[in-house]
A and B are shown apart, each in its own frame.
Chain A
């Protein structure tokens, strides 16, 4: 009788020890795989229109090239990692969709509205290009990308300029990606 009681006690103890191990395991399961696909497109948006001091004060007596920084840089946002170029066209010059680089685009011209035959040639620059060849890299839509626009006027063109106070040009920038 004593033996039987001991055996039962041992079995009871084993069941207490074993039960928690199996209780944690689920009796069964069903499972499936789901694909989550994503497509990220490419786009650019103008954040700030570029501008220059008005008027530009051109010194006709200096012997050096004159540079004119922007008063507000052209800011864009493009998809992160996207390489884009900026094409430049001049209303009064002959530049048409020329790639803007830190070296600049020639064929730009300031024209007098009162004397249309009087023009001043200049160079339009985009100092923000990534590699000097007019290639920019988008930094995502949380970060502005500055094109670093600027104007250069060669000493010879400044010295040859006829005095007027109504020179102007309209530059069209086109982002290509």
Chain B
């Protein structure tokens, strides 16, 4: 055992001496980072449908688009739920909503972005459109049958990550 210790001490000495004489000491430092997937608050805008019952074509909404900014290149999913239709979540990009008025209802369809990859944050990143201004549509037959009055629905849009 004493002999073995003496040999190891000698080897260590040689290694230290050799290092100082032949090369710089280098080393790698690992830096790990995690970018969390997240989204800013949704920029929500209400939609308006002006329905002429005599129309010969489907009625589309007007207003402004609803957008969101989320982490770049991360996949996000979107759900939508219509309070007038009972509040069940939809995730296929076409929500069957119901407008409720005084004693009557009008069915409509809301087209939305059901999934997307984030475009990042900041002014250089284009916000992702969740709903276009013309996203809500009332079919001809439903517009023709609509009773006079003011109707509304509340849609909850949720981006999950």
Contacts and interface: CB of A to CB of B under 8 A. Distances in A.
Interface of A: 26-43, 45, 77, 79-82, 140-142
B152 A45 contact: no
Nearest to B110: A36
Contact of B44 (A27, A32, A142): A32
Interface residues of B, number: 54
A34 B154 contact: yes
Contact of B146 (A26, A28, A33, A80): A80
Contacts of B110: 36
B146 A37 contact: no
Contact of A30 (B45, B53, B141, B159): B159
B48 A32 contact: no
Nearest to A82: B148
B65 to A, nearest CB: 11
B145 A142 contact: yes
Interface in B124-161: 131, 136, 138, 141, 143-161
B159 A31 contact: yes
Contacts, number: 145
A40 B46 contact: no
Interface string B32-61: 000011111111111111111111000001
Main secondary structure of the interface of A (DSSP, over half): strand
B134 to A, nearest CB: 12
Nearest to B97: A36
Interface in B11-44: 36-44
A31 B76 CA distance: 13
A29 B77 CA distance: 10
Given A29-B160, A36-B48, 7 more contacts: A29-B159, A30-B159, A31-B159, A32-B157, A34-B47, A37-B151, A81-B147
B46 A35 contact: yes
A77 B46 contact: no
A38 B143 CA distance: 11
13 contacts: A27-B37, A29-B160, A31-B156, A36-B97, A37-B150, A38-B51, A38-B106, A40-B101, A40-B147, A43-B52, A79-B148, A81-B147, A140-B145
B96 interface: no
Contacts of A140: 53, 144-147
Contact of A29 (B46, B52, B150, B161): B161
- Name which of A27, A34, A41, A43 has the most chain B CB atoms within 10 A of its CB: A34
B119 interface: no
A34 B157 contact: yes
Contacts of B161: 26-29
Nearest to A42: B148
B42 A30 contact: yes
Given A28-B161, A40-B146, A40-B151, A34 B44 contact: yes
Contacts of B104: 81
A141 B138 CA distance: 14
A39 B53 contact: no
Contacts of B152: 35-38
